[in-house]
Chain A
Amino acid sequence: MSTKRDRLEIINDILVSIQGKGGKIKPTHLLYKSNLSYVKMKEYLDELMKNDMVVQEEEGKNKFYLITDKGHQFVAEFRKIRNFSESFGL
């Protein structure tokens, strides 16, 4: 059984999902990929936009979320922390 994801893991999953789509993702795709309710996903995206990790872009009627350099940096750091944690059993 998988354990409950914590806040940082969810943030990381959202950012990795955007990275996986070439750095730009539609909200519907993100909703599917992040495995969150719409309300929760909106909450996390607002936090990510507030922290300049994600920016919103509109192309005609379509809305997209783009990962920023800071977002890429977070993913890289989080990966290192996870490796560190795994290696030392923390």
Chain B
Amino acid sequence: MVDFLCGPNWFYGIDIIIEVISLIVAGLIAFFSYKAFKITKERKYFFFALAFFLIAISFVSKMYGLIIACTGLAKASFGYFTAVTQKMTLIQFIYSMGYFLQRFIFLVGLLALTSLCLKIRNRKTIFMLVFFVFIATWFSNQSYLIFHIIAAFLLIYISLYFYVNYLRKRTFNARLVPMSFFLLLISQLIFIFVIRDLNLYVVGNIFQLAGFVVLLFTYILVLKK
């Protein structure tokens, strides 16, 4: 289950800043959508808030994983890998749990968004999809790859939905939303190939940042209008 990938050393810290920005943007959207739910009592806003809240939480788990796995503490434990002690196993367990939670929660967040886009209302169907995501992220011995492939697959549906919405509405804001999710889709596709070239981790993160910055810009425009 533990196949954690950190980027190049010089990038450590920058990636955490990117996660913080992504967390703030997802949190702001979740908060606004929840506020809309409180005013309108329409469930679609609640589920939208829930989806972005889960995505925001997943970034917290990822930061936790990054801090533990990429700091000196974890590197020291890798350094003594041949002499596995109980303490080292515990460190590995802690960060692998953090990273598993990040993957699982992020995918459930995307799944919630996809369900909203595809208008999947049946709870049994949603539960079944969540179960498959759990199985894929927990039991797969290539959970890193599986995670990014599923995320990219879900983002294709989400981006398409927002693109169709743009074609219907033809507004500037509606154009920005599919653009942001398309950037996130590209970032996930790039993350798939990080195993081959570690520098792609940087490129993937830049695309992720661009996606969330566009999303933030959309959010500001929504509030400003």
Contact = CB atoms under 8 A, between A and B. Distances in A.
Contact of B222 (A78, A80, A89): A80
Interface size class of B (residues with CB under 8 A): 20 to 34
Secondary structure type dominating chain B contacts: helix
A59 B36 CA distance: 37
Given A80-B222, A81-B40, A86 B33 contact: no
Name, among A78, A79, A90, the residue most crowded by chain B CB atoms within 10 Å (CB to CB). A90
A90 B47 CA distance: 11
A86 B45 contact: no
A70 B27 CA distance: 26
B174 to A, nearest CB: 5
B161 interface: yes
Given A81-B36, A81-B39, A84-B33, A90 B169 contact: no
Interface size class of A (residues with CB under 8 A): 10 to 19
B44 A87 contact: no
A8 interface: yes
Interface string A72-85: 00000111110111
B95 to A, nearest CB: 34
8 contacts: A86-B169, A87-B169, A87-B221, A88-B162, A89-B161, A89-B162, A89-B169, A89-B177
Nearest to A77: B39
Given A89-B161, A89-B174, A80 B225 contact: yes
Contacts of B33: 84
Name, among B48, B164, B222, B223, the residue most crowded by chain A CB atoms within 10 Å (CB to CB). B222
B32 A87 contact: no
